[in-house]
Amino acid sequence: MQWANFLAKEAATHSLSLKQTAAFIKYFKTENLGKSEAKLASELNVDVATFRNSMGEVYEKFAQNYPELAISNSRGKLEKLQAYLKAKHNSELDVLKPLAAMKLLKSLVVRERLQQEAWVARRICKFLGYLPLALELVGRYLDKMPDLSLETLLKRLEKKRLEHETVVNANSLIDYESGLAEAFELSWEQLDENAQSFGCLLSLCALADIPLSVKTIEDDKQQLWEKAVADLLELHLLQRISKEIYRLNPLIRQLFQMKLDKSSEADEAKTKFAVMMLQVAKLIPQQPNSEDILNLTPHIPHITEVATHLPQYLGDKNLITLFTKLTWFYQSQGLYQQAELWLQQCVELTQNRLGLEHSDVVANLNNLAGLYESTGRYSEAEPLYQQALELRKRLLGDNHLDVATSLNNLALLYEFTGHYSKAEPLLEQALELRKRLLGEEHPDVATNVSYLALIYESTGRYSEAEPLYQQALELWKRLVGDEHPHVATSLNNLAAFYCYTGRYSEAEPLLEQALELRKRLLGKEHIDVGTSLNNLAQLYESTGRYNKAEPLYQQALELSKHLLGHNHPDVAISLNNLAALYRNTRRYKKAKPLFEQALRICERTLGVSHPTTMTVRANYASFLREAYH
């Protein structure tokens, strides 16, 4: 397949708009490599900003299906996409020279057999367009039929071309003159019904390596699947990459898809595949650790394939689950742009299915608002929280727990942005509503009491805040006992209040108790343990005990890297904390690279205008003034 045709096919496969397609093909055409963006934009009669924006949108569409692109740094994205496209193109079609094609065929077929019909062998190579994949298929086909003459094989291929030329030529991916479709057709006829169905099912997977373990299949189907895999491998219709990892060539995938689309079982297969991927998606926890991410990453392209191309085969609740799980996967790694895309799509799909006034639509609006809030886009989060609150009141009435949740969410946004006078009445309403509906002794009430204490603390009303923090702690102890993570969190909240008001001697035993409790209950490798390490280190630093603070900051940093990966905002915060300690102890050479690394992570994951980014930037600027002026 020519490079230009390949680019056009990729544009269609990824549903690029006309404007995006024009920019995509212009950018990656061989003759345009090396041209400036300004030159390319002028040739398309658009300004540079429009061209750059179109290419950004193109990259995001590709990144939705391929996590290895989504994880790319902001710089060099298009270079990475170009390398990806080249690798994919080469895997699809790497035409050989005639002699090399004959050499490949000789390696696949008994030499004496080729020598008897050498002229026909050369004609077969030419018919197959000297395409290695087609030659592999024919070689495996001949290997299964040792008495078949090459002349008969060629006639069968030519007959298949006449039978299928119209269908294949109408498809943008398959170039029928390569002979691949005909070679595939012969192999298809060698498969039993079970292997044919399995190949069609695999064709619904994304263009990525396929993790496939028959152990996860029901016992009565394991042998059937094992045989299907063996049959596909034998005919080179499937490749085994490593243990339980397989690959379907993009062109073979397309041919299987064509078979599926023409069958009466297409809808059944697509429903089955969608449900399979849903079951995998359900394994994604809300806060996946590094091991979870490592295990789940191979499955993500195939889950996103369902979300992108097969959402109609999932019911409303399952669809929301699928999108929510994808959001958690990306959000937990600080990949907020990808998380946002899935949440936005979920909102759009559920609105189209259920209408604007539905509880599930409201829940999705609330989730999207939460994502905006976590990335510092408060002006976008606020109207969504407000919309969710008004919809819940209208749908559920004023006396409903979901209304209390919306009141609470909007109030916390106001608290975080310093609008305390707006936050306080909403939190008080939420607290009264929860007390009325749940009673005084309930976890949601304890949580609400803590939030209200935070408002009082933020507005300097310390005498009102302290008893609420203590009340929340005692309530948690009554509800769940002394040995519980919620008790550790409440201890931490009260200790933070004591630190904020300069009462370090009262804060220290509470922070130590919270740390030990979390280690005991959650294990030493838990993100909450890292939070406690950081908090205790900050207390030691504030009281001048730098030698005790440093190892705790270092432990917290290593733990966050281990659990969240090296490019997570929480890692940036740990880097910033350790750098600040080095600054305070005048170890400037150690501080500088940590500040720089923290700032890079924040800018990449949170954006340049996020409060955390601005705090780190301010800390770095202050450090530079102190250390180098």
Q: Following DSSP, what letter does each residue of 510-575 receive, concatenated?
A: HHHHHHHHHHHHH-SSSHHHHHHHHHHHHHHHHTT-HHHHHHHHHHHHHHHHHHH-TT-HHHHHHH
The domain boundary residue, chosen from 277, 302, 318: 277
56/118 same-domain check = no
Across-strand partners of 240?
A: 246
116/187 same-domain check = yes
Q: What is the mean pLDDT of residues 286-303?
A: 88
Across-strand partners of 344?
A: none
Residue 111: inside a domain: yes
| The pLDDT of residue 224 | 87
Q: What percent of the chain is predicted at pLDDT more than 90?
A: 50
The domain boundary residue, chosen from 277, 306, 324: 277
54/134 same-domain check = no
| The pLDDT of residue 100 | 87
| The pLDDT of residue 401 | 93
| The pLDDT of residue 168 | 46
| The pLDDT of residue 464 | 95
Of 348, 326, 349, the residue nearest 338 (C-alpha): 326
Of 477, 500, 502, 478, the residue nearest 490 (C-alpha): 477
84/170 same-domain check = no
* CA separation, residue 489 to residues 431, 497, 514, 519, 554 (Å): 19, 13, 7, 13, 22
Residue 433: inside a domain: no
- Exposure of 587 by Cβ count < 10 A (0-12 exposed, 13-18 middle, 19+ buried)? middle
10/144 same-domain check = no
Residue 507: inside a domain: no
Residue pLDDT, tens place only, 110-153: 888 888 888 999 999 988 888 888 898 999 999 888 889 999 99
Cβ–Cβ < 8 Å for 599, 608: no
Domain that holds residue 74: 3-92
135/162 same-domain check = yes
| The pLDDT of residue 66 | 67
The domain boundary residue, chosen from 92, 115, 132: 92
Of 417, 415, 406, 343, the residue nearest 378 (C-alpha): 417
Residue 34: inside a domain: yes
Q: Which residues neighbour 58 within 8 Å (Cβ) at sequence distance 6 or greater?
A: 14, 16, 20, 23, 24, 81
Residue 441: inside a domain: no
Total domains in the chain come to: 3
For 257-263, the CB contacts below 8 A with 24+ separation are 257/200, 257/203, 257/204, 258/167, 258/168, 258/171, 259/188, 259/196, 259/199, 259/200, 260/200, 260/203, 260/204, 263/200
116/255 same-domain check = yes
| The pLDDT of residue 171 | 41
139/201 same-domain check = yes
Highest mean pLDDT pick, 58-62, 566-570, 593-597:
593-597
**d(C-alpha 629, C-alpha 620), whole Å:** 14
| The pLDDT of residue 519 | 94
**d(C-alpha 354, C-alpha 554), whole Å:** 49
126/199 same-domain check = yes
Residue pLDDT, tens place only, 410-463: 999 999 888 999 999 999 999 999 999 999 999 999 999 999 999 999 999 999
Least confident of 35-39, 239-243, 459-463, 464-468: 35-39
Residue 35: inside a domain: yes
The two three-digit tokens of residue 350, written as one number: 């559920």
232/159 same-domain check = yes
Extended beta strands in 127-238, E state: 210-211
**What does the angle CA 363 – CA 417 – CA 285 come to, to the nearest 5 degrees?**
40
Look-up of token digits 């009445």: 425
Residue pLDDT, tens place only, 235-266: 999 989 888 899 888 788 888 998 998 899 99
| The pLDDT of residue 502 | 93
102/250 same-domain check = yes
- Exposure of 279 by Cβ count < 10 A (0-12 exposed, 13-18 middle, 19+ buried)? exposed
Residue 327: inside a domain: no
DSSP state of 210: E
Residue 86: inside a domain: yes
What are the DSSP calls for 233-253, one per residue?
HHTTSSEEEETTEEE--HHHH
Cβ–Cβ < 8 Å for 401, 427: no
For the whole model, what pTM was predicted? Answer: 0.71
Average pLDDT over the chain, rounded to whole? 87
Would you say residue 383 has pLDDT above 70? Answer: yes
| The pLDDT of residue 74 | 46
| Confidence band, pLDDT 50/70/90 cuts, at residue 199 | very high
Cβ–Cβ < 8 Å for 376, 606: yes
Residue pLDDT, tens place only, 328-355: 998 888 788 888 889 988 988 888 888 8
- Exposure of 404 by Cβ count < 10 A (0-12 exposed, 13-18 middle, 19+ buried)? buried
Within 10 angstroms of residue 478's Cβ, the number of other Cβ atoms is: 10
**d(C-alpha 614, C-alpha 594), whole Å:** 16
Of 518, 521, 449, the residue nearest 488 (C-alpha): 518
Number of H helices, E strands in the chain: 33, 3
208/273 same-domain check = yes
Residue pLDDT, tens place only, 485-513: 999 999 999 999 999 999 999 999 999 99
The sign one gets for the Cα dihedral 480, 485, 486, 489 is: positive
Would you say residue 103 has pLDDT above 70? Answer: yes
